[in-house]
Each structure stands twice: as structure tokens, then as C-alpha cells.
Amino acid sequence: MLNNTCAAGTKPLRVLVMVSGGGTNLQAIIDRVKDGTITNTEIVGVISNNKNAYALTRAEENEIPSLCISPKDFETRGIFNGKLLEAVESFEPDLVVLAGFLVVIPPEMIRKYENRMINIHPSLIPSFCGKGYYGLKVHEAALERGVKVVGATVHFVDEGTDTGPIILQKAVEVQQGDTPEVLQRRVMEQAEWKILPRAIDLIANGKVRVEDHRTVIEQ
Ligand code: GAR
């Protein structure tokens, strides 16, 4: 377990990170816990749906317990959903962080972790979000539309797709000649890897509350 428990007398936030791929957002969280930018936080585990995800190597290198659970290994989605929830609960998380987790979250889990589960999305919601918009597809769509500003959003997860209360957003400029890959990297570097750790730190220090489906942030 990786932790940074500086705030005297406060119980560290138990964070579970869920991933599917490279895990650069996971790495950003790990690095910010290590250097003390994220305070009062313990990364208690990593769950991947993909056994080949490089994110699992990152977890191992940092001695964070991890496990892989894939819908492919179960006969029905219902069985997988039950097992996934069981796996999540085994870490007893206070906060679940979807950091590039590309599996549909079971409704039961969404209800159970209401305002305790956050997601990073690589666009300025409500642009380029919802069903079918994930990973590189988001950046392909932004370039196709010709927008000049893109960005990333951290939001709480509710029962819709990318519809939950927005916590933080950061804008990034599109540059002439960008490819989806180049734009994706810039959005990660300039937005995702900054706002996701920041959101976790704010939550860990009790500075985020939800009122009427909107967040109020105490800076
Ligand atoms: C990130 O760009 C994240 O915003 C995106 O997947 C990528 C994961 O990269 N998530 C979504 O598109 C969710 N709708 P990573 O594994 O290197 O963190």
C-alpha cells in the first residue's frame, strides 16, 4: 500500500484505482502521493479488467495490491457485475477512481458508491462525451469537428454516461497539424495528470461536496 498520511488526526482516504490500459493516470496519482502533492491518501489497490494492462506493472512496481477481473471470464454480465462489486468491496475503499477504466460500471455499484466514485474523461464535458466517446475516439472527434480548445474533466459517476457532477476541468489548446495521438498526449500532460490528482487531494481533505447535482469546492 502506498500512502501519504500527513494530516494529523485525519484518517487517510482509502483510494481504489480502476484501470484498463497504460495507466498513465494511475502513475500520476502514485507520483503525487509519493511527492506529497496528494495528502491524506492511501492507494489501497488497483483493479484492471485487462490482464495485459501496463497499469498492473505500475501497481506491482509500487507494491500496490492489484487484481484482474474481466467480463470475458464470466458466463453472463450479471455474474461479472456481482464479482466486480465483490472485488471492489474487498479493498474497503472510501473513494473509487476510474482512471481509464473502460468497462460499464454495474448500476448497483454506482448506487453503492454515489459521490464516492470519480472518473477522468478526456474532454470538456458536455462536449465529446457519452456513449462511444472514450480514449482516442474523443480526440478524433474533436479534430474532426475542428474545435480549437479541448481538455479534460473529473466528475463523480452517476447512472448516466459522463453525466455526474463535475469536480474539475482544464482546457488545452488544439494546435495546427495535431493528430489524435499528439492531442491525446497533450491533454494528458496538461490536463488529466494534473486535475485527477488535484481532485483526489480535494476529496481527501473534505473540500468537495455535492449540492443539487453540482459540486461546491472549498479552495
Ligand atoms: C485517459 O485518456 C482517460 O481520460 C481515458 O482513457 C485514457 C486512459 O489512459 N478515459 C476515458 O476515455 C473514459 N471515458 P491511461 O490508462 O494512460 O491513464
Question: How confident is the model over 25-47, as pLDDT tens digits?
Answer: 999 999 999 999 999 999 999 99
pLDDT, tens digit (0-9, with 9 covering 90-100), for 168-195: 999 999 999 999 999 999 999 999 999 9
b vs e for 63-73, b when ≥16 Cβ sit within 10 Å of the residue's Cβ? ebebebbeeee
H-helix segments, 132-188: 136-145, 180-187
User: SS3 of 13, please?
Assistant: strand
CA dihedral 120, 125, 131, 135 (to 10 degrees): -50
Burial class (CB in 10 A: 0-12, 13-18, 19+), 146: exposed
Q: Is residue 199 pLDDT above 60, yes or no?
A: yes
Amino acid of residue 51: K
Measured in Å, residue 23 CA sits from the centre of ligand 1 at 8
Alpha carbon distance 74, 2 (integer Å): 31
Q: Is residue 5 pLDDT above 70, yes or no?
A: no
SS3 content of the chain, % helix, strand, coil (to 5): 35, 25, 40
Pocket test of ligand 1: the residue of 26, 120, 125 to mutate, having most ligand atoms within 8 Å of its CB, is 120
φ/ψ of 17, rounded to 5, equals -110, 130
CA atoms within 13 A on the CB side of 152: 28
Measured from the CB, is residue 154 less than 6 Å from ligand 1?
Answer: no
Q: How many residues does the chain have?
A: 219
Residue whose CA is closest, atom 10 of ligand 1? 100
pLDDT, tens digit (0-9, with 9 covering 90-100), for 96-144: 999 999 999 999 999 999 999 999 999 999 999 999 999 999 999 999 9
pLDDT of residue 2: 61
pTM of the model: 0.95
Number of the ligand 1 atom closest to the C-alpha atom of 25 = 18
* 162 alpha carbon, distance to own chain's centre: 12
Examine residue 126 and say whether the peptide bond preceding it is cis (omega within 30 degrees of 0).
yes
Number of the ligand 1 atom closest to the C-alpha atom of 121 = 4
Measured from the CB, is residue 24 less than 6 Å from ligand 1?
Answer: yes
pLDDT of residue 1: 54
Measured from the CB, is residue 21 less than 6 Å from ligand 1?
Answer: yes
> Residues 6 or more apart from 60 whose CB is under 8 A from it?
66
